[in-house]
């Protein structure tokens, strides 16, 4: 299963790159307390009194991977763009680019986009940039979409299962990944809520080399393996690499502003069946309904994977990501709307209600982890 845990669980040993050192006021600090870019590694303060919210979301997952394809139905061209599992934000620009390339093969310049999550908004924006007249139809708008529940780390995790991978999908996946990686770099900055950040994948054992990160090292800069004395975290091995972190609340709101600014229109509407979709006046329909495609377009290969997150108060001094391996791994993403602590990965669980037992587990594991971290400034 290519999940966030399993994708990042198998890192190979590369030559260690020295982290930046400092001789600042904290005389007990050393290079192990800094990222390779020179930022201090500060402890996260995890406690029940600092919790600000707990949320759950349903990842739209297909074992075979996401769907990007077009079909002709009556006088309509329907282009599907859904089923991205836990990699929706990561793959958004790239997958939507593939979808819009199919739409561009028609003779039309007017379309309906179904869904106002990250796939719907990026598809709409790319089409607008090509001169299309776009209307979005959606039953929910940001901040009430599945995309708003995403963590936002740039890495295409839990997108497909290895046993179901085909050469055709692998080419599609790689094309989407590469396009999206480059596009996000064009919008790095506070305006879109995108920034570069250090990642530390912690484990008790070194990892093999047959993983996503080593397959595409050009998209994981500053990749190196750290031993027990080369980082401040309470697990023996740490793999470091840089990714981008996308803050959904900022990113999705900015996409909506850009969409309206380019003349787009959004209509709140829930479709009951496929026949109702065909009543739309637009000749081209981009299907970005996520998990809704299971019923609306009869894709029974699509099912949810539940993810649960707990947020604690933000800390400006914390600017790195941690992901821990184990029977039930955890991860920490520092965002401006709170420090995100995850997580869960529950197959075919349709219940959006947060589980108090999972909240307790996440808080206890994260608290123990960061309390054992070396922080000379603490």
pLDDT tens across 255-305, in order?
A: 999 999 999 999 999 999 999 999 999 999 999 999 999 999 999 999 999
**What is the domain-level CATH number for residue 130?**
3.40.50.720
Percent of residues, the chain, with pLDDT higher than 70: 91
Domain housing 33: 4-20+27-59+195-247+304-371
Query: Could you identify the residue written with the tokens 């329909």?
Result: 285
Together in a domain, 242 and 336: yes
Domain contains 186: no
Same domain membership, residue 358 and residue 266: no
Measured in Å, how far apart are the chain's first and last C-alpha atoms? 38
**Alpha carbon distance 105, 96 (integer Å):** 15
5, pLDDT greater than 80: no
Q: Please report whether residue 143 resides in a domain.
A: yes
Same domain, 256 and 279: yes
**Domain-ending residue, one of 233, 262, 297:** 297
Which CA distances in Å does 290 have to 105, 286, 361?
Answer: 23, 12, 29
CATH assignment at residue 31: 3.30.9.10
User: Measuring CA to CA, how many Å separate 79 from each of 69, 298, 346?
Assistant: 6, 15, 29
Do 90 and 144 lie in one domain? The reply is: yes
> Do 85 and 48 have their domain in common?
no
User: Does one domain contain both 224 and 313?
Assistant: yes
Which of the 8 DSSP states describes residue 170?
Answer: H
Confidence class of residue 28 from pLDDT cuts 50, 70 and 90? very low
If asked whether residues 55 and 67 sit together in one domain, one would say no
Residues 9 and 146 grouped into a single domain: no
In a domain, 179, yes or no: no
- Counting every residue written for the chain, the total comes to 378
Are residues 130 and 317 in contact, defined by beta-carbon separation less than 8 angstroms?
Answer: no
Q: Which of 44, 112, 55 is nearest to 307 (CA)?
A: 55
Residue 79 lies in a domain: yes
Neighbours of 71 (CB within 10 A): 12
Residues 313 and 352 in one domain: yes
pLDDT tens profile 149-173: 999 999 998 999 999 999 999 999 9
d(CA 287, CA 277): 10
The answer to whether 304 touches 348, Cβ cutoff 8 Å, is yes
Q: Which of 297, 328, 357 is the last residue of a domain?
A: 297
Give me 223's structure tokens.
């990749």
Task: Work out how many domains the chain is built from and give that number.
Answer: 2
Compare 221 and 2 and report the one with higher pLDDT: 221
Domain match, 211 and 291 both: no
């Amino acid at each position: 299963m290519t999940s966030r845990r399993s994708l990042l669980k198998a890192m190979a040993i590369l030559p260690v790159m020295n982290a930046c050192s400092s001789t600042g006021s904290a005389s007990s600090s050393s290079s192990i307390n800094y990222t390779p870019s020179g930022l201090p590694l500060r402890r996260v303060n995890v406690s029940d009194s600092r919790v600000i919210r707990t949320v759950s979301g349903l990842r739209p997952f297909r074992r075979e991977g996401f769907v990007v394809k077009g079909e002709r139905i009556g006088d309509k061209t329907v282009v599907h763009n859904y089923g991205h599992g836990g990699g929706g934000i990561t793959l958004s620009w790239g997958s939507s680019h593939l979808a819009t390339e199919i739409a561009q093969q028609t003779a039309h310049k007017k379309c309906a986009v179904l869904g106002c999550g990250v796939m719907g908004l990026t598809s709409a924006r790319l089409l607008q940039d090509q001169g299309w007249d776009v209307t979005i139809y959606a039953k929910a708008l940001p901040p009430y979409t599945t995309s708003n529940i995403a963590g936002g780390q740039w890495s295409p995790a839990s997108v497909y299962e290895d046993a179901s991978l085909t050469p055709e999908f692998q080419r599609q996946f790689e094309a989407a990944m590469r396009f999206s990686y480059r596009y996000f770099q064009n919008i790095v900055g506070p305006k879109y809520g995108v920034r570069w950040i250090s990642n530390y994948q912690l484990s008790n054992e070194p990892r093999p080399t047959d993983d996503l990160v080593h397959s595409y090292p050009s998209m994981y800069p500053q990749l190196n393996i750290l031993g027990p004395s080369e980082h401040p975290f309470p697990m023996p091995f740490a793999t470091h690499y840089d990714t981008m972190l996308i803050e959904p609340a900022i990113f999705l709101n900015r996409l909506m502003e850009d969409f309206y600014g380019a003349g787009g229109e959004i209509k709140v509407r829930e479709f009951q069946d496929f026949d109702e979709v065909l009543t739309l006046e637009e000749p081209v329909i981009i299907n970005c309904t996520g998990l809704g495609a299971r019923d609306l377009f009869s894709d029974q290969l699509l099912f949810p994977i539940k993810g649960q997150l707990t947020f604690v108060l933000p800390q400006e001094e914390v600017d790195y990501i941690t992901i821990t391996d184990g029977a039930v791994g955890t991860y920490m993403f520092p965002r401006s709307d709170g420090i995100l602590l995850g997580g869960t990965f529950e197959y075919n669980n349709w219940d959006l209600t947060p589980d108090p037992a999972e909240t307790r587990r996440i808080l206890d594991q994260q608290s123990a982890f960061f309390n054992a971290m070396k922080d000379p400034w603490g």
